Structure formats: C-alpha cells, structure tokens
Structure 1
C-alpha cells in the first residue's frame, strides 16, 4: 500500500465530496479511488466517509483526520517539487482557471516567458468567466476578480481592475454625451451580468457618492461581446479597462463620465493554501506578479494621456 498516495486520494475525495470527481481529477478509474480509500480506512480502523447514492460526507474520524492529511500532502508535494527543482528544474502540470477578459490579449506573452524559464512545467488553462472553487474544479489556481469563497482558500491580489463606461464617438455625436450618472438612463446600455452589485451602480466624484439603479438593453456575461456591441455604435457599455484599453487608446471608444469613477476590483490568484503543486504555483504567481505591476500597463497609458484620473477608488 502506498500510504501517501492513499492519503492524497482521501484528501481529494473530501475536497470534491465525490469519488467520481476525485477520480477524474487524478486521472484514474473510480475503482482505484475506492480501493485506496478502503485501504486507508482499514489501516486507520474506522470509516472516513459516510456514503450514499447522492452524498459523500466525512465521518467524525475523517473530519479529524482531514486537516493534518491536507497539510501532509501539500508539504510532501512541495518538498518533492523543490528536490526536482534543485536537481533539474520543476516539472509536471499546472492547471489554471482564468477570466476570458484577462486571457485574451494579455496572458499569452506571459505564458510564453514563463515556459521559457520553466520548460518542463506543462500548463493546462481553462478559460471562463465562471467563478470557481479551485479545489472542487480540480485546478491549482483561479485567476478571477472575486475573492475566495472559502476561508480555506488563499486570495492573493495581483492588480486592480478598473471599469469605465464608454461608447463610440459616432454614437455620442448622434445621441449626446451624459454629463452626470443619472443621464445614463437616457441611453441604451450594455452591462456585465456577473458583478455582485447587480443593477446597483455607485459612482465616486470629488469625495461624494451617487448610487443609481440601471436597466440594461443588453445584459451579458461576456465583456468581449459588450466591447463589440459598443463598437457597433449600439450604445454605452461598461467595460473593464483591460478589455477596453486598446480601443480607447486608438480612439475607437471614448470614456464617458471619466471623473465619475466606479470602484475597482482586484484580479486575484485564488488557490488552496495546501496546494499539491505549491512550489510550481509559487513560481507561476511570482511570474505574473512581476509581469503586471500594481498599475496595469493599459491603465498607465490612459492615465498618461489624461483619459483616466490618476487616483484609484478602492475595491468594492
């Protein structure tokens, strides 16, 4: 019996609450997972899970056992990775879940440079705007704008994500430019559906706040669709600057209400504190942190040209 392998399997089943999902993540048959857990239960002398056709939950013994096992697996994998790194460089697969808006146009060059430094680390990148629990999703890290959903997860801020309202000059010439947030009600709006504030929007101007409720003509979970919608002169949209920056700098889109700022979000690296790939993940996060300063390059360019205020409203 490979005791450490069985302990890692137990941890994965406990985290995913599913024998089938643990098997999928570990790339083994479900019967292998079942056998490993059974062997560990025989060694411990007590059941680690209560099983039914729908639910897998920890027994009292399993609950008491889990934290130490999770730390043991994380530490063991960290030590093995560091030993490999000292001998011949880190190896293996790193699975990352990342926002579509961040990946397209910004991440490929960072990935190329990372793989040039660590050629034996293979990257598996899942691209989606869905907020995930990295443990249950079977990834080592999620790059997302929302904080960790669990106290068992670590959330490391990478850089702030600003949001702006913008439209094409053609649309604004034909329909007028809003001078106050409330004047947005007179326009066709395209809004992102995933913000936690939903229909409630708070603007900050000269130390004061104004909150309004807005209804979208187009509500979507795709910021890239919103950008294309704006470029079709269809209305005023709210976009993160990491998506809107290039067309704004080219003059294809114009910032609306630039002095009435929305609060920013942080792009966070969210991961389990006891990640089984802690060493490789540490290298990856350090590489991204070095590539993107606290003022993102697309924001810095717009601030330099006077298209955005230099100051930043704190995260929502």
Structure 2
C-alpha cells in the first residue's frame, strides 16, 4: 500500500462524506476506495471512519488523523513542486573536460555568455589532452575532437575543424615549399603524440588522397607547443584551424601545399547516458551548439 495515496483517498472520503463520492472525485472504483481505507485502518490499527447506511464520518482519531493528513500532504506537494522546479532549472556544479588548445582558443570566450544565462550553474572546466575516464573522474560532459567518438558514449556533433598544413616563412625560405604530399618526407615535420594514424599524414587534394609516412623531427602532446615550434622555424605542422588561424592571419605561419588538407575533424560534446540528462548538461550543450553554429566553425 502506498501511504501517500491512501492518505489522499482518506481525505477525499472525509471531505465528500462517502466512499462513492470520493471514488468519483479520484476516478477510482468504490471497491478500490474501500480497500484503501481498510488497508490504512489495518496498518494504523485504528478505526478512522464511522460507517452508516446514510453517512460516513471520521471517528475522533480519524478527525485528528485527517488534520495531520492535510498538513503532511500539503508539505509533500510543496516539496515535490520545489524539487521539480529545481530539476528543470539548470543549477549546481557542471564539470567539463576539454582539450587544452580548444579550451583556450574557443571555450574560454564562450563561458561568460553561458554563465550570464545560467547564474545558478557553477562551471568547473578541466583542460587535458589525455582521454579521461568520465565516470571515474566525475565529469558531466567532455569535448572530444575526433572523427569517431567512443561508442560507449553519447555524442552530439557541434561543429567541425579544418586541419591545415603550415610552416613559418623563414623555414620555407630555407627548405623550400614541398611540391607534393610525397615531398613531405624530405622535410622536418612536427607530429602530435596522440595522432590516431600514428606518424602517417593522410591528405585530400586535387589529385585525390595521399598518405605519407613520416619520421618526425619532434613529437608533442599539445597543439600550442607544436604551433610555437613551427613559428620558431622548426618545421611543418598539420593542425586544427582553431590553433593556427591567428598565426596564419598575421603571417607568422603560411600555408603549405595549398589545396591539400587532412579530412575535417568533428568537435563533439559527449556524455555517458541519455537517461535523466541533467538540465545543466543539456543547457550547456545546447548553448555550445548555438554559439558554434553562429560562429566560424559551423554546426553539422
């Protein structure tokens, strides 16, 4: 027996002076109302109602119980309403994991806008280029830059990034501009430690696809380190646009092999379960999707 439901039935019987009227008000059968009251009296070991052929009225104990039921049901309804309202309103700490370079180049400028919209959410952004265990480390969501998110996670694609080949002007002045993807093997290339394809750069261009196996001069697990090394003239990099676009715009880097690029890479928001997705998580993902759609990266 559900005690709250039984209390509601009891209140309805008292207020309507009968089982049949209470049953009509609650959209129950008279037999169901009778069973609820009998079970409640048995549970309490007390007679709550006086029953005659004409009328049903509370006993003295029943009258006292009726008043307490009114108070408790009002408190219960208020509690449910309060919890329900909070469940719909984004609030609480939101733990986000993102790659270092993307967090600095893109997320940092978007966070103030989200915070202004949802002041009850406490943002906790952790930047790391390693693949974190979201459950083990307690993250609500993560930004993953990949062509194929892990199948164990729920992913929403927010945007895409172009992968550009570039180098410093003084490097190209010394070593020359490679004439084809295959010529990259004669150059100093700076590789990303976590590159899915190992030391092979796969490019798409006017003549189709080309894959070049490299022996990098340097490996690093952070894109900004590679960008700065390239600006200093150390070699050629293949980097997402959000890491190199400013350096290309101001001339510190220039394009290598114009017309050849790696396939675009997806920017995804990932989380662990669709079930009861917290409003703080949903609101942040929707906000990112809207902002990135309005920006340079284009939502897909």
Q: Which runs of 5 or more structure 1 residues have no equivalent in the other structure?
A: 1-78, 301-313
Task: Report the equivalent of 2:191.
Answer: 191
- Residue 293 of structure 2: SS of its match in structure 1? coil
Distance 1:234 1:275, change over 3 A: farther
1:123 is paired with a residue whose SS is: strand
CA 187–209 in structure 1, closer or farther in 2 if over 3 Å, else same? same
Are residues 173 and 213 of structure 1, via their aligned partners in 2, closer, same or farther at CA, if it must alter by over 3 Å? same
| Equivalent position of 2:20 in the other structure | none
Using the TM superposition, give the Cα deviation of residue 137 of structure 1 relative to its aligned residue in structure 2, in angstroms: 2.3
SS of the equivalent of 1:162 reads strand
1:269 is matched with which residue?
Answer: 269
Does residue 178 of the first structure (1) align with residue 171 of the second (2)? no
Shift, 1:97, TM fit: 0.3
Cα pair 2:144 2:270 within 8 Å, conserved: yes
Q: Decide whether the 8 Å contact of 1:190 with 1:217 is kept in 2.
A: yes
Query: Contact 2:143/2:268 (CA < 8 Å) preserved in 1?
Result: yes
Q: Alpha-carbon deviation of 1:107?
A: 1.5
Q: Which residue of 2 aligns with 1:247?
A: 247
What is the TM-score normalised by the length of structure 1?
Answer: 0.64
Give the 3 Å change call, closer, same or farther, for CA 82–256 of structure 1 in structure 2: farther
Report Cα offsets for 1:74-129 as digits up to 9, x if no partner. Answer: xxxxx98762266xx43201000011111113222210000000111001111001
Secondary structure in structure 2 of the residue aligned to 1:90: coil
What displacement does 1:224 show? 0.6
Runs of 4+ with >6 A deviation: none
Structure 2 residues without counterparts, runs of 5 or longer:
1-80
- What's the TM-score once normalised by structure 2's chain length? 0.67
1:83 match: 85
Q: Which structure would you say has the larger Rg?
A: 2
* Structure 1 residues 42-191: aligned runs within 5 Å: 83-84=85-86, 89-146=89-146, 147-151=148-152, 153-191=153-191
In the alignment, the residues of structure 1 paired with residue 105 and residue 193 of structure 2 have an alpha-carbon distance, to the nearest angstrom, of 22
Alpha-carbon distance between aligned partners in 2 of 1:215 and 1:124, rounded to the nearest angstrom = 39
Are the counterparts in 1 of residues 87 and 278 from structure 2 also a CA contact under 8 Å? no
Q: Matched residues in 2 for 1:179 and 1:128: separation?
A: 36
| Aligned-partner Cα distance in 2 for 1:272–1:246 | 34
Cα 1:211/1:162, change in 2 over 3 Å: same
**CA apart distance, 1:233:** 1.1
